[in-house]
Every structure is written in structure tokens, then in C-alpha cells.
């Protein structure tokens, strides 16, 4: 998730952290607006924030998207809540993809976004 504002990203991560019972320190919460995106299991966030900033640029495994740990859907819900609270409208989601990923893999994600009422999605393809 890439937030249009640091405030939106911070609010979404705070809400998701609460859902997963994470206690982020005041120092960690100050670092949250500096994150370029959230791309891994939320439960790894405290450890990830403790790593040096240069190491945070390494690719992550992605946000879990299968039952019983569907953090992607949870993240989309809190992103919508945060967007409504801050901007008065639904979130615009940026989905970072590998350019070799077939559309048949991407479309279920877009359908899930639509089921959650998110109709504005930006797809960002990354090549090697």
C-alpha cells in the first residue's frame, strides 16, 4: 500500500496493528509515515522497523492473502476506513506487480477489491 499522505498510511497501519494485537512503540509509530509501502505480514512490522533503512529496500514476501490469515483484505478494509476518516472518500489502492504475472492471477485481486467497494486501483508493474 502506498499512501497518498503519510497521515493516511499511519492511520491504516495503526488500525491494522490493533486488529492483530501489535503494540508499536512511539518511536516505531514515528517511522510509519516514512514507509514507502506495506508489503509484508503486519506481524513482522515491529522487527522490520528495527532494521536499518537501507535493508528495508529489499523485496518483501508480500501481504498474506489466504485464509485464515487474509491480511490483504484486512488491510484494504482499514485503508478504506482511514481514507474515509481523512479524505472523505474510499482509498485508491496501488498494487505492485511483477510484469511477468499473468492477468489470470491479477484479476481475482481486482475482483476482491471491487467486492470491498474499491474501484480505483493503480497497477504498478516492476521488471527485473
List C-alpha distances in Å: 38 to 33, 34, 65, 103.
11, 11, 14, 23
pLDDT score of 127: 61
Is residue 84 a part of any domain in this protein?
yes
Number of domains the chain contains: 1
Residue 32 to residue 9: CA distance in whole angstroms = 8
Model-level pTM? 0.72
In a domain, 1, yes or no: no
Total Cβ atoms within 10 A of residue 81: 16
pLDDT single digits (tens) 17-56: 999 999 888 888 888 877 767 778 888 888 888 888 777 7
Residue 92 to residue 25: CA distance in whole angstroms: 28
Answer whether residue 12 is part of any domain. Answer: yes
Q: Return the ∠ at Cα 110 (arms to 117 and 67), rounded to 5°.
A: 90
pLDDT at 5: 73
Boundaries of domain holding 33: 6-126
Amino acid at each position: 500500500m502506498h499512501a497518498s499522505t503519510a497521515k493516511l498510511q499511519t492511520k491504516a497501519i495503526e488500525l491494522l496493528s490493533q486488529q492483530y494485537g501489535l503494540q508499536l512503540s512511539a518511536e516505531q509509530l514515528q517511522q510509519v509515515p516514512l514507509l514507502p509501502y506495506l508489503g509484508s505480514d503486519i506481524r513482522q512490522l515491529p522487527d522490520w522497523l528495527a532494521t536499518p533503512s537501507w535493508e528495508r529496500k529489499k523485496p518483501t514476501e508480500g501481504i498474506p492473502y489466504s485464509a485464515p490469515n487474509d491480511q490483504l483484505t484486512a488491510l484494504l478494509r482499514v485503508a478504506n476506513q482511514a481514507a474515509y476518516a481523512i479524505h472523505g472518500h474510499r482509498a485508491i489502492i496501488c498494487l505492485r506487480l511483477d510484469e511477468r504475472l499473468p492477468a489470470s492471477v491479477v484479476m481475482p485481486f481486482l475482483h476482491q477489491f471491487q467486492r470491498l467497494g474499491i474501484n480505483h486501483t493503480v497497477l504498478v508493474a516492476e521488471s527485473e
